[in-house]
Structure 1
Amino acid sequence: MASERDEDRNGAGTHARHPAEATADDQTGGTPTTEAAAGSGTDPTVEPKVADPKVVDPKVAAAVAAAEAAGPQHGGTVRVDSWIWAVRLVKTRSVGATACRGGHVRVNGERVKPAYSLRVGDEVRLRHEGRERVVVVKRLIRKRVGAPVAVQCYVDNSPPPPPREAVAPVAIRDRGTGRPTKRDRRELERLRALNSLKDRPGGH
Structure 2
Amino acid sequence: MSDAMGQPGQRIDRWLWCARFLKSRSLAATLVQSGRVRVNGERISKASRTIRPGDALTFPLGPHIRVVKVLFLAERRGPAPEAQSLYEDLDPPAPLSSRSDPSEPQAPMREPGSGRPTKKERRQTEMLRGNDG
* Contact 1:126/1:134, CA 8 A, preserved across alignment: yes
- TM-superposed CA distance for 1:159, in Å, is 3.5
Matches within 5 A, 1:1-204: 72=1, 75-112=7-44, 113-161=46-94, 163=96
- TM-superposed CA distance for 1:92, in Å, is 1.0
**Runs of 4+ residues deviating >4 angstroms:** none
Instruction: Normalising by structure 1, report the TM-score.
Output: 0.43
Query: Paired residues, what number?
Result: 99
Instruction: Normalising by structure 2, report the TM-score.
Output: 0.64
- TM-superposed CA distance for 1:163, in Å, is 3.0
Gaps of 5+ in 1: 1-71, 167-201
Partner secondary structure for residue 84 of structure 2: helix
Q: CA RMSD in A?
A: 2.7
Rounded to whole Å, the distance in 1 between the matches of 2:36 and 2:75 is: 21
Rounded to whole Å, the distance in 2 between the matches of 1:162 and 1:152 is: 21
Who wins on radius of gyration, i.e. which is larger? 1
Larger relative contact order (Cα-Cα within 8 Å, sequence gap ≥ 6): 2
Rounded to whole Å, the distance in 1 between the matches of 2:34 and 2:75 is: 22
